Amino acid sequence: MSKAKKPDQIVYNEDTERYDASLKPYATNVGAPAIKVTDNSTWKSRNIDKANKQIKTKYLELKAEYDKMMQELEYNMLVYNSRYSFEPIIGETYHLYRDKADKPFLSIIAPSDCNFDYIGSFLLNSELIWKKVEV
């Protein structure tokens, strides 16, 4: 069975066998304005640049946070692997020194009160993490 071809200006859907011009999201009339593609290349390039800057900034923030975390990890390993013969109290500041054999040891003696090879001062926080502090 052959179907007669409809004229070009008629909007007929052969799958549903219906006229569906009113269902289209665009004008189907021959006299309707032409559909023109707008040039959005400047918008794209401007927003690509903004998005890239935003992503780069976020990356730099994450990298700085990672570097800070790695520094804390190194300090924790240094202090926990040092020699001390007492149980540190949470919230107290302790001082890390190097002995004559170049081994680290933890002390309650402040750097101003001794002549040991001073490495740094550390505070044991409530999460049992050693935080470097300035004395």
How far the first Cα of the chain sits from its last, in Å, is 97
Burial class (CB in 10 A: 0-12, 13-18, 19+), 8: exposed
Query: Would you state the pLDDT for residue 9?
Result: 65
Contact call for residues 81 and 122 (beta carbons, < 8 A): no
Question: Taking all residues of the chain, what is their mean pLDDT, rounded to a whole number?
Answer: 89
The tens digit of pLDDT for each residue in 14-34 reads 888 888 877 777 777 777 777
pLDDT > 80? residue 1: no
pLDDT > 90? residue 40: no
Identify whether 95 is part of a domain.
yes
Identify whether 25 is part of a domain.
no
* Tokens 């309650």 sit on residue: 108
Domain span including residue 52: 39-133
* pTM of the predicted structure, to 2 decimals: 0.60
The tens digit of pLDDT for each residue in 61-88 reads 999 999 999 999 999 999 999 999 999 9
- What integer is the mean pLDDT of 3-23? 76
| Residues of the chain above pLDDT 70, percent | 96
Query: Would you state the pLDDT for residue 127?
Result: 95
Identify whether 114 is part of a domain.
yes
Query: Would you state the pLDDT for residue 85?
Result: 94
Name beta bridge partners: 98: 104, 117
Identify whether 5 is part of a domain.
no
Identify whether 30 is part of a domain.
no
pLDDT > 70? residue 8: no
Count of the separate structural domains present in the chain: 1
Identify whether 13 is part of a domain.
no
Identify whether 23 is part of a domain.
no
Identify whether 7 is part of a domain.
no
Listing DSSP states for 12-30 in one string gives EETTTTEE-GGG-SS--ST
